Structure 1
Amino acid sequence: MDSLDDLFARLREATAPAEIEALQDGIWQLWLTTAHPLLDKRLENGIRALAADDYTLAIHEFTFLTEAMPEYAEGWNKRATAHFLRGEYKASLRDVQETLRREPRHFGALSGWATMLRTLGDARGELRVLRRLEQLCPAWPGLQQQLRNLRDRLDEQAE
């Protein structure tokens, strides 16, 4: 099995959407395991709760993960998602920051952060985050178009 570093190195060079998707899937497989059966079960419970729109239970499960294993980035990321879906952007942004402190290459957290900044109307912040995502994978599907649109919007605002 490839290491996380190997997968990220290949992701940086990947250009074909199918290859990018396969590499992302490989990275997610590594991120979605704690290597502790009880904690994996809590993660699974939280993911199921998210899918069922039970954000309170999801936050409870992911909080258990962040307290039991604070260095595990995905617990923070999943809780950020639950907070975001519940409309709690400040809590979500805090958890995104914790995720990125533990795994600066977390493209899911970066993508979510960019979405939140777009929702909050912070185009300059969104551009900064999307540039970080671009460093991880310049050929990320749709990213270059997003960056062009955002730069155009910012240029129009500057005029």
Structure 2
Amino acid sequence: MSTLDELFAHLREANTPTEIEMLQSGIWQIWLTTGQHVLDKHLEAGMRALAAGNYTQAIHDFTDLIELAPSYAEGWNKRATAYYLRGEYRASLDDIRETLRREPRHFGALSGWATMLRTLADDRGTLRVLTRLEQLCPHWPGLQSQLRDLRDQLGSSG
């Protein structure tokens, strides 16, 4: 089994969508493993609520998880997702910051952050976040064209 650091090293070099997807899947498997039964129960309950569209319940379950394991980055990331889906961008952004404080390589949090910044028409912020994502995985499908478009827009407007 590969370690997280090994998977990220391979992700930086990966250049096909299949290879990138396989490496991301391996990383997610590690991120979604708490190693503690009680934490897994909160994570699973929150993920079920999220999948069912019950964002309030998901936020409650992920908050319980965060209170029990504040250093567990994925608890913060999942709650950020629930807040985002409920339209609470500020709360989601706060949780993304907490996720990245614990796991700076969290491509899911970075991708979500870029999506929100783009929705808020913050092109410079989006470019900064996507540049961080590029450092993790330069061949992420569609990333280079997004970066080119943003740089073109900012170059012509700024």
TM range (shorter): over 0.9
TM-score for the superposition, normalised by structure 2: 0.98
Query: What is the CA–CA distance in structure 2 between the aligned matches of 1:156 and 1:47, rounded to whole Å?
Result: 42
Unmatched 5+ stretches in structure 1: none
**CA distance in structure 2 between the aligned counterparts of 1:78 and 1:110, rounded to whole angstroms:** 13
**Equivalent AA in structure 1 for residue 119 of structure 2:** T
User: What is the match of residue 81 of structure 2?
Assistant: 81
Give 1:68's aligned residue: 68
Shift of 1:15: 0.6
CA RMSD of aligned residues (A): 0.7
Q: Distance in 1 between matches of 2:147 and 2:50?
A: 29
Instruction: Mark the runs of 5 or more structure 2 residues left unpaired by the alignment.
Output: none
Q: CA shift at 1:38, angstroms?
A: 1.4
Matches within 5 A, 1:82-121: 82-121=82-121
- Deviation by residue 1:41-79 (Cα, 9 ceiling, x = unmatched): 110111111111100000000001111000000000000
User: Once the two structures are superposed, what CA deviation does each residue of 1:59-117 show, in whole Å capped at 9, x if it has no partner?
Assistant: 00000111100000000000000001111111000000000000000000000000010
Total equivalences in the alignment: 158
Tell me the TM-score normalized by structure 1: 0.98
4+ residue stretches of structure 1 with deviation over 2 A? none
- 2:19 aligns with 19
Say whether residues 1:5 and 2:10 are aligned partners: no
Amino acid at match of 1:50: L
Distance 1:41 1:141 in 2: 33
1:156 Cα deviation (Å)?
A: 2.6
